[in-house]
Structure formats: C-alpha cells, structure tokens
C-alpha cells in the first residue's frame, strides 16, 4: 500500500476546484441578477471571490465581500440564515448529486491587499535610484567611443 504525502492531501483536487468554480458562478449570477428572495439583500452589491469545497463535497465555504466592505457584519448573518435557499438555487444551476452545505465567510483578501499596498506606498525612497554603478559607467564610456547608444543592461 502506498501512503499519500501530506502535501497532496491538503491541496484541493481538480473536482473540488471545478465544483467550487461552478458554485461561485451560480451564486455570483444570483447576486448580480437579484434573483434572491431576501428583501434584506436587495440593492446590496455582493462579490463572491472564492468557494472552497471540502474533499467529500458536502461543505462549501463561500468567501464574500460587499462593495467597499460596507455593512458586511449585517449582511453576513443574513447570508448564512438564507444559505439553504441559496443552495436550492445553486442545485437548479449546478448538476450535482448533493449540493454542498454553504457557509458564508468574510473575504479578508481585500484587506490584505490594502495593507500591502499601503506598506509599499509608505516605503522611503531609495537614495541610489539614479546613481549608476561602476559597471554602468564603463558601458556609457564604451557607447560614447563608438557613437552608438546601447540600451542593453549587462550583468556583472
């Protein structure tokens, strides 16, 4: 008997990825078309960024974010309360034996991107950006002697 490696068991299979994408597309189209029977979700722009499906396809984590992150603390409990209704709509669009149980979670990747962007924007400017190295000076002299401008960078 061969053992599976620990890394291969943690990575999602192709089927998990495919089913997750199909569920994501079905939910996203529902939210875009306002096919939802929940009055609380009318006029709310919801982005479904990822759907992570368990290996046995019985559970699915749906990562969502509202436009600008506004009222996500209010919207998320409504989404989880209406999850069986969404699963029913998904079952009509995605052909599976059993539709996974949906659990809606806040997508933290947008906050992560904002944090990284602010870190890059707050970096102090480097002092030697326009200062050529010794090797680059040597290339400039060679290009002046033969009268041609070389734009190729050479490695040291």
- Digit-coded pLDDT (tens) for 66-119: 887 788 888 899 999 999 999 999 999 998 888 999 999 998 887 777 788 888
Residues 33, 41 contacting (CB under 8 angstroms) = no
Task: Provide the token pair at 110.
Answer: 């947008």
Question: Are 76 and 104 within 8 A, CB to CB?
Answer: yes
Quick check: 53 and 100 in contact, CB under 8 A?
yes
Q: Tell me the pLDDT tens digit for each residue of 2-57.
A: 555 555 568 889 999 999 999 999 999 988 887 766 777 778 888 899 999 999 99
3-state SS, residue 58: coil
Q: Which CATH architecture has domain 12-108?
A: 2-Layer Sandwich (3.30)
Beta bridge partners of 62: 51, 104
| Residue in 85, 80, 97 with CA at minimum distance from that of residue 26 | 85
CA distance 46 to 27: 10
> Quick one: pLDDT at residue 37?
67
CA 146 remoteness from chain centre: 51
Tokens 């990284």 appear where? 116
Domain chopping of the chain, boundaries: 12-108
């Amino acid at each position: 008997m061969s053992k599976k490696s620990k890394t291969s068991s943690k990575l999602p299979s192709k089927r998990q990825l495919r089913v997750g994408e199909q569920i994501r597309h079905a939910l996203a189209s529902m939210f875009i078309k306002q096919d939802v029977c929940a009055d609380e979700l009318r006029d709310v722009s919801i982005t479904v960024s990822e759907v992570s499906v368990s290996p046995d396809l019985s559970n699915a984590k749906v990562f969502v974010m509202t436009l600008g992150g506004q009222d996500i603390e209010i919207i998320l409990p409504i989404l989880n309360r209406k999850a069986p209704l969404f699963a029913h709509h998904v079952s009509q669009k995605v052909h599976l034996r059993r539709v996974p149980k949906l659990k809606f979670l806040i997508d933290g990747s947008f906050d992560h991107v904002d944090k990284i962007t602010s870190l890059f924007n707050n970096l102090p400017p480097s002092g030697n950006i326009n200062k050529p190295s010794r090797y680059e000076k040597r290339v400039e002299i060679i290009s002046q002697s033969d009268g041609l401008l070389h734009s190729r960078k050479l490695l040291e």
